Amino acid sequence: MIEVFLNLFVGNEADARTVLHTPGWYVVHACKEPFHRQALGYTGRGAPKDHPEYLVAKRDCRLILNLVDAPNPAYIPKEVIDAALEAIHQNISQSKVLVHCNQGMSRSPTIALLYLAGYTSALGKNDFEQLVKQLNPAVQATFDWLIAKNQQPYLTGSGASVYCKLANQKQAEALLNKLPSSFAGFQPKGWITKSCNQSLTHVKLMPY
C-alpha cells in the first residue's frame, strides 16, 4: 500500500482486507471480484443488468465498483470512474481513502492518478510519469527496455500503457521482434498492439 497524496492510498486486495471496517478509513473497491459479487450476492458470470447497483454499490464507508481489468478503456463505464472520483473527493478530508484492485497495479493507480489530475494541482507532466512508474514497476521496466533499444517511450491517458513512436511499420515490426519472450510484469498474451497513423507508427505496451 502506497500513500500517493495526503490521505489517498493505493493498494491491493490484501490491503483492503487489512483496513476494511477500521475506523477512519474509506475504501473504494475497484474490482468486480470478489467484492461487487459479494455485495450483490450474484452467482452467475455477472450481475443482473437491471439491478439498481449493477455498476456501483454503496455500503458503510465503502464504494464497490463493478469494474474489471478491461483491455480497452472504452469498455469501462464513465459512471463507474466518476463515482469513484467523487467518493474520494467527498471523503478524503475526513478519512484515509484506500483505492484498491486485485493486484494494485492497474485499476486502482489509474483512478488515483485521475483524481490527482482532476481534483488537485499535485501533478505536473514529470510528476505524473514518476508516480506511474512508482505505482507500477512493469511500467518502469518497459521504459528501461525501450530506452535500451534507443527508443523514446512516453505515457498517455491514464498512464496504464507505455507508447513509443517509430517512423514506419517496418521499424515497429523490428522492435516487436526484439521483445523478450518472458518480460517481468507482463502477461504474454494481448500485451502488444500496433496502429498506424499516416507515416507514424505507435507501439503500445500494456502492463498488467
Q: What is the mean pLDDT of residues 22-43?
A: 97
Model confidence pLDDT, tens digit, residues 98-118: 999 999 988 998 899 889 888
- Asked whether the predicted pLDDT for residue 33 surpasses 90, the reply is yes
- Is the pLDDT at 208 greater than 70? The verdict is no
Question: Confidence class of residue 84 from pLDDT cuts 50, 70 and 90?
Answer: very high
Average pLDDT, the chain: 79
CB-CB neighbours of 66 under 10 Å: 23
User: What does the longest C-alpha to C-alpha distance in the chain come to?
Assistant: 57
Please give the pLDDT value at position 161. Answer: 60
Per-domain residue ranges of the chain: 2-129, 136-205
Beta bridge partners of 193: 204
Phi and psi for 109 in degrees, rounded to 5? -65, -30
Mean pLDDT, rounded, for 18-37:
96
The CB density around residue 11, as the number of other CB atoms within 10 Å, is 21
pLDDT of residue 184: 39
pLDDT band at 173 (very low <50, low <70, confident <90, very high): low
Query: Which residues 6+ apart lie within 8 Å of 169 measured at CB?
Result: 194, 196, 201
Number of neighbouring beta carbons within 10 Å of residue 10: 30
Q: Supply the pLDDT for residue 167.
A: 61
> Is the CATH code 3.90.190.10 the one for domain 2-129?
yes
Model's pTM, two decimal places?
0.67
130 confidence band (pLDDT: 50, 70, 90): confident
pLDDT given at position 54: 97
**Packing angle between helix 125-135 and helix 137-148, nearest 10 degrees?**
110
